[in-house]
Structure 1
Amino acid sequence: MEQAALHKIKQLQQRYIGYQLLADALLATGCAFLIASILYRPWQARAVWCGIVSFMVVMGILATIRRPWNTTLATLCRYLNVTYPQLEESSALVIKPAAELNLLESLQRSKVEQEIVHLPGQPPLVMHRVKKAAGLLALALILSAGMLWLGKHWPTAKGGYYFGDKKTTAQNAAPPEKVLPQIDGVTLKITPPAYTGKPARQQDKFTIIAEEGAVVTWHISTNIAVNSVTLLFNEHEKLALTHQKSTEWAAQRLLSKPGFYQVSIDGKLSDLYQIQVVKDELPAIHIKSPRQYTHIDAGEVPRVIINANVSDDYGVNNAQIFATVAKGSGESVKFKDTVFSFNTSFGKHNRQYNLQRTIDLPKLNMKPGDELYFYVQAQDTHQQKNRTDVLIVSIQDTAQLLSMDGLVAAANIKPEYFRSQRQIILDTEKLLKEKDSIGVTTFKNRCNDLGTDQKMLRLRYGKFLGDEEEGSHEDNEHDELGKAENFGNAAMVMDAYTDKHDNAEDATFLEPAVKAQLKATLNEMWKAELRLRLYKPLEALPFEYKALRLLKDLQQKSRSFVAKTNYNPPPLKPEKRLSGDLSKIGSPVNQQTSRPGMDKYETLKKAAGILEQSKHQALSIADKRILQLAAQQLAVRASAQPGIYLKAVGALRRMLTSNVVQPTDRSIIEKAIQKSLPSSKTSPYPASATADMGLAQRYYQNLNR
């Protein structure tokens, strides 16, 4: 019985570990299916590998967190004690050696062994977790199937639909077309231009969605012998089909603009068929680094790393960097243009490239104070070009930064401690030059002294931002609080231990922009002080220069200059003064004849009113004339935007040919007319004046009496 109980506990341990791993595997499988279904539409075949990788990652994370293999016999016994009350919390006695048990424990063990042998082989808590994981897996499978179904029937950006691994155009999902009864079949061969890299395709519908510059070939077969077959484009361009066999007709045309067309067989016209032209988009360029304005401080590496992402809908042919170096200042500035190429081959004409190029500024003979202007230009396979905005990279001119020109000018001179950052920079550079000639102890002491000077300067600037001072004046206040007569004085305690940041005078001392720049200056000073305290003056030097540059920029912003202006009035003529002669002063007369312009939307507005009246009365001859003119205007718009106005043109023609007005046709035409009309802008207008019956005139006459 003892061996049987111990064997049963070990068996339960193995099943516990196995069920835990099974539950983790079910959860990882559900996550893998969800990720694969999400990535199936853009990546398709690679989505399966992404699902496998995600399964391994999720399974590894869950197993690492739970660690079921670390389940010991003692842990399992505690679980059994909680789950089964008949064990009387004594299942741990079974795994103990018999020599370590006393008489009472031996009696209890013999009782528990019988209960353990009759325990079920599948603990309920473990099975509950497995069932829960299986339910989540079923939910994940349902969601994955739903996303795959939506991915197949969801329209793409260019009007297509995804069905498995094959992309079809929108006309395959459109309703059946209405063709002439003489047409037995049609085959359209669309040959995309060479820059797209797409093969030729065929379709059996008249509606065309093709790339710009594609060549379309029509092959129309008739069920009877006909005399002529013609294609009518946009109601005025005709293309006659050539007679190949007894009932076979063919024609070819280059598509460069959207519109619509009809098939004419012996004078009988078909419905309107749509022509959509997909234009080639310009290459898209995204600059990841550097920023638009990059400033290289003293001590930084004079190097620019350009990271760019170039993409195009059909393929990228080339990408280059056009740079201009500006040297000098004022009238002596000189410019030099340079063209850089990326170290990437564009022979495959991929749709996306991640490009990188490193430019060493010293190789361009750039010195402190010079600037580099550059932009990235990309070209696609259709020879279309696009470029980014100009990016600027400048090198800090330390000689100009250390000059005293901005300080000796008599315009809003700052206090003395606004100029001490320059001395810290000079002392740091001097320390770096003398590093090899002085001892280590002297070097560290001087670094520490410079850090102390930087700290004192930072604290002086902190006064302008309301920072607390570091000092020992608080000890005297604490001594005053310790006296017996001040015990319980709440006002003195609040005054001593609270920060006074709500002073109105301090709040308006500096403007928000100045405060923000001062905070940035204190941040750079703190970084410089940290490096100096760590005996790294070379690393502290760039932060010192940046702090000085921010201070000098702040000082230049606060300068004010008002130019002196002189006023030279014209000479006066004493003989003309006070004479009151206004004979030579004439009032300007401006005559202009304005004629009301023709409203080009008047016909459409009248057509909208006629459509509203057609709900209650039949169309007259004059109404049909106005609707014909409106149909011509909508046809012009349909030639440019067939997807919006082509249905309205067809509905309007059906309305004119038949005496019955269908509500669906009326709704389509009204929506198209509303899109054609400009949006009305509400403008203020004067209120209508009420008639005063001559009271104002009589009141004025009475006043004159």
Structure 2
Amino acid sequence: MNAAAAAQRLQQAWRAARWRRGLDRAALALPWAAAAAAVLWRASGASLAAAGFAFAAVVAAAWAWRAAAAFDRRWLIRRLDGLRRDMDDSAELLFARSETLNELQRLQRARLQARLAAGAPPDLRPAWSGRGIALSGVAASVAISAVLLWPTSPSARRETALAPAPEVAAAPGQPRLLAQNLHVRAPAYTGLPARDEPSLQGRVAEGSRLDWTLRFAPQPTGAELVFLDGQRLPLQRGEDGDWRAQRPLIRSALYRIVARGAPAAQSQRLHRLDAIPDRPPQLRTIAPDRSLSLVGPDQRSWSLIFDANDDYGLAADASLRVTLAQGSGENIVFRERTLRVPGRGGAAAKRYAHRLDLAALGFARGDDLIVQLSVDDNRRPQAQNVRSASLILRWPADQGSEATGVEGLVKTVMPAYFRSQRQIIIDAEALIAQRRKLEGERFVQRSDAIGVDQRLLRLRYGQFLGEESEGAPPLPTSDAHDDGDAERDGQGRDGHAQAGGEGGVADKPAAPDEDGHDHARPPVPARFGEAGSVLEQFGHTHDIAEAATLLDPKTRALLKSALDEMWQSELHLRQGRPQQALPYAYRALRFIKQVQQASRIYLARVGPELPPIDFTRRLSGERAGLARRDDPLAAATAADPLPAALWQALQPVPGAAAAPVDYAALERWLDAHPERVSDPLAFAAALDAVRQRSDCADCRARLRALLWPVLARPPAAVSRRAAGDAGDRRYFEALQAEAGR
């Protein structure tokens, strides 16, 4: 017991000593890391200063760890022998192996362990370097203050920051811009480095901090930045004679540098700043590959994979909202929870993957599981959020239940919607592609299921031709059909013979009727001599009076052809031959598209509904309220006539003065319709140029060219002739070459 207690106390004292030494060395080094960061900040900006401080901190930590690692076992033995006389200069025996000691050495080690366990725990920590830490902190503080307060020399500023400005003709004594610089500091969350723009214009991130530095000679009495939207930013003159101003850029802008007494050419020059907006994250769903998925056999989990990217960076984690819908009808209960999904990848592109445990969520038959991923970017102060489309995992309820009593058959639930012909083709092609992976029986079953969908779609379109519904079971008490006779004849309830095929049952016309239906006789005797009764008793028609007036004969013929192709497609699908069914399915789709593009339909004739005649006005000569037949036709006005009117006003007329332009109306139109202009800054610059020089033909032509794309297109126009292929172009070029000779 004494040995274990002694070893524990000794280990704690040793660990405390190493921690003391590491913290002592870190306290000596960290102030100088801050001083190095201040130097870098003054020289190159905040981003490089942060990187330099992080590097200096890592170096200080490594130095502190190495100093603490010097307190090894040899140091501990020397420390124990030096601090405690009761160790009898035998502290080395505490760390020796028992098999290497003799009996006397073992007895001595036992005495040392008893002394360590009985007495106070040894304090092996070295003393703090109080004087050294204080001196280091004071010296580093002085160095940081000197770096921050040290003035920047004008020569250094001229060499590193300012660039020569374009030369402008100026009279003696007029202030002229000699040097210029625009320092751009992007928002910290973008991670973009600070940079200089010598031309005072460029594309910068939205929200960037802009610092202007200008030098004039001779010095003006005042200077400012005048923006085209009317805002003014005064320039402040510093001790070194340079003029400075600061402003964050929220949106794109055009501005001028206006100095008092400066030449007009310098004050009229426009500088353009384009603010690049921070786009919201782009989110893409990788798995599952469809919005609605059905639970597979023995499926216990659901894998979700999303890819996201952003221009500046994404948040480390995403939010996954999971909603479980249980019940049916009006008794639906929703349970919602939110999960955090970590992202993997770089700062600007991440992949979010998660696997949902269906049993843990309480997912059961008849339930729907809806998930939606929400991703944020690292924009500050307000992050942009984007959400994925809702993904649904459905566990269908029982499709049927066994009936008891009179029916003794299996009832099936009618599907909620019919599939389209295009979807049937897609399913058939997907089944053909998976043929090698599926067993024979499973392949035939899936082909038969697609054939059932084809049959339902055929019946749906058949209603437009007046065909009766097939497959509708009669009432149990109805004696209109003799089921026993039908079964003996080999026919089903839908009037089709059931032909057994490989893997499925195909509806096929059978005797005795040529149209493939077993028609019931009317239960009530028909009256003798009536044509309708004779037709109902001895004939059969597929037409319904209301449906017969819906489509014109040509459209009915197309729809009949589509039904015939659907029949053949269904026949091969039900027999497990999807490859042979595809040509018929494609032809059915082509006929359906032609039917959908039919230009007219026939409607049932109805009598005209004329207003009643007012006999009190008969022969009275009163014409109030009657339309005048001699009213002239008036030209229609455009919905937005201002651009067209300005475009016509800017049209040059040879020998005539330039027409005036309503600048205020055009500015109001630009503010009201910013979405119709592709480049608002170019439009504003051209408008300002025309306003400054109304007699400038080139300026007016430039503004007129910008107005052309925003003009309303006429409702009818001459279509451009097709350019033709390469052979046509060679022929026309040869004709032109022949004409030029």
Q: What TM-score do the two structures reach when normalised by structure 1? A: 0.44
Higher RCO structure (Cα 8 Å, ≥6 apart): 1
